[in-house]
């Protein structure tokens, strides 16, 4: 009778018996986002390469531990903490997760105490394709290191004195392109533009709008980014557009098969439409058009905020611009009146009196 195999007792190695067989696993020293240890499968203990494999895994673990706490470790620990936060909207968490993948890709193998401003600056200048990508990457690294400092993991501040690039904001659509979009020949493009403009919502929320969300003349929206519930009244022009739109699916915007339309498809369609008319515009610009239109119609900051879900501070920025335009128009009207009449009050000026000719001596 064969003697049972004596399993070598090695550090970081565990054995699992299943269906009469023995499997060896090595603890890499890494953990999952939920804090669970990461094991890798090893050759069978009786195999010729078992000890060579063990030596390689142990060497990799020792090397990793010698360099200390990595940026990838920081990202993992931050996301564990982030998931527990109730004050952070799911949309923001999704954006952070997406950006953190890029942080790990570019800086993940750096020990957190070795990252220098020059390293961050190099990534920003050479790896970020545009203003938006630059700014969110910079913001994410700043958030990570602030969290690490508060948690006592580092004292470094590698993003200190670095500023976001200007021009990252999406401009409102030019008026001629906006008006052309609201009356576009393509049904799907026209409907998307009407929904974005007349509700003042983000593209992700517009893509998820359903017919059943229209209740008593209001469009009920649970904003993905902020978790706010808003219910903008359906504008009469949007109501007319919806009335002539076939209900092909659960959502208002659908593809040819009646399935919800992906927001990237909407984004692409609107860029193509606007570019053909002289300027490539993005859907988010229509949100700004909506705010400006509401303010120019005389709505208060609170009223605009109730429709769009934006903070008072954001709306105030647009209000300041709109008020300057109003003041500028009023000032120009006064100047035109003065120029045409010769008097500030708009009344015709009297003809200057002519002196009576001197009598001949």
pLDDT tens-digit readout, 196-236:
999 999 999 999 999 999 999 999 999 988 888 999 999 99
The confidence score (pLDDT) of residue 60 equals 75
Q: Are residues 88 and 127 in the same domain?
A: yes
Mean pLDDT for 12-18 is: 91
Mean pLDDT for 280-306 is: 91
Residue ending a domain, among 226, 256, 289, is 289
Report yes or no on 341 lying in a domain.
Answer: no
- Confidence band of 342 (pLDDT split at 50, 70, 90): low
Residue 92's domain comprises 71-150
Q: What is the CATH number of the domain that holds 235?
A: 1.10.443.10
The confidence score (pLDDT) of residue 33 equals 60
- Inter-axis angle of helices 284-296 and 187-199, to 10 degrees? 50
Q: Identify which has the larger pLDDT, 216 or 94.
A: 216
The confidence score (pLDDT) of residue 67 equals 60
Cβ contacts of 294 within 8 Å, gap of 6 or more: 200, 303, 304, 307, 308
Mean pLDDT for 320-324 is: 78
Mean pLDDT for 286-292 is: 93
Q: Which residues of 63-84 are buried (b: 16+ CB within 10 A; e: fewer)?
A: eeeeeeebbbbbbbbbbeebee
pLDDT tens-digit readout, 251-264:
999 998 999 999 88
Long-range CB contact pairs, 186-189, < 8 A, 24+: 186/269, 186/273, 187/245, 188/253, 188/261, 188/269, 189/269, 189/270, 189/273
Report yes or no on 34 lying in a domain.
Answer: yes
Residue ending a domain, among 51, 66, 81, is 66
The confidence score (pLDDT) of residue 36 equals 78
Q: Are residues 182 and 263 in the same domain?
A: yes
CA–centroid distance for 79 within its chain: 18
The confidence score (pLDDT) of residue 343 equals 56
For the chain, the domain total comes to 3
pLDDT tens-digit readout, 27-46:
987 776 667 788 888 999 88
Percent of the chain with pLDDT strictly greater than 90: 54
Q: Say whether pTM exceeds 0.75.
A: no
Report yes or no on 352 lying in a domain.
Answer: no
Residue ending a domain, among 256, 273, 289, is 289
The confidence score (pLDDT) of residue 3 equals 60
Cβ contacts of 136 within 8 Å, gap of 6 or more: 95, 99
Of the chain, the end-to-end C-alpha distance in Å amounts to: 159
The confidence score (pLDDT) of residue 19 equals 84
Q: d(Cα 114, Cα 319) in Å, to the nearest integer? A: 45
Report yes or no on 306 lying in a domain.
Answer: no
Q: Are residues 181 and 256 in the same domain?
A: yes
Report yes or no on 185 lying in a domain.
Answer: yes
Q: Are residues 212 and 278 in the same domain?
A: yes
pLDDT tens-digit readout, 167-195:
656 789 999 999 999 999 999 999 999 99
Q: HEC states along 254-283?
A: ECCCCCECCHHHHHHHHHHHHHCCCCCCCC
């Amino acid at each position: 009778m064969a003697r049972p195999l004596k399993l070598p007792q090695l550090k970081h190695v565990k054995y699992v018996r299943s269906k009469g067989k023995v499997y060896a696993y090595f603890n890499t020293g890494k953990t999952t986002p939920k804090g669970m240890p990461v094991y890798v499968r090893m050759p069978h203990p009786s195999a010729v390469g078992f000890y060579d494999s063990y030596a390689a895994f142990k060497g990799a673990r020792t090397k990793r531990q010698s360099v200390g706490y990595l940026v990838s470790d920081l990202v993992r620990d931050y996301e564990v903490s982030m998931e527990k936060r109730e004050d952070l909207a799911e949309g923001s968490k999704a954006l952070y997760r997406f950006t953190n993948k890029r942080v790990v890709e570019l800086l993940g193998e750096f020990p957190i105490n070795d990252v220098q401003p020059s390293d961050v600056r190099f990534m920003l200048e050479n790896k970020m394709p545009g203003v938006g990508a630059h700014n969110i990457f910079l913001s994410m690294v700043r958030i990570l290191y602030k969290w690490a400092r508060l948690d006592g993991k580092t004292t470094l501040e590698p993003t200190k004195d670095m500023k976001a690039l200007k021009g990252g904001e999406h401009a409102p659509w030019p008026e001629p392109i906006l008006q052309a979009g609201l009356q576009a020949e393509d049904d799907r493009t026209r409907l998307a533009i009407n929904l974005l403009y007349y509700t003042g919502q983000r593209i992700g929320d517009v893509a998820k709008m359903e017919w059943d969300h229209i209740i008593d003349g209001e469009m009920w929206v649970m904003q993905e980014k902020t978790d706010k519930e808003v219910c903008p009244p359906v504008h009469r022009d949007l109501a007319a557009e919806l009335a002539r739109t076939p209900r092909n699916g659960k959502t208002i915007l659908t593809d040819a098969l009646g399935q919800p339309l992906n927001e990237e498809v909407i984004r692409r369609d609107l860029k193509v439409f606007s570019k053909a008319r002289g300027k490539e515009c993005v859907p988010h610009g229509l949100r700004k058009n909506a705010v400006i239109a509401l303010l120019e119609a005389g709505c208060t900051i609170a009223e605009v905020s109730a429709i769009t879900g934006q903070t008072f501070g954001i709306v105030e920025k647009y209000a300041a611009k709109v008020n300057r335009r109003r003041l500028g128009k009023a000032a120009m009207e006064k100047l035109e009146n003065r120029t045409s009449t010769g008097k500030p009050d708009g009344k015709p000026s009297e003809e200057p009196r002519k002196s009576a000719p001197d009598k001949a001596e």
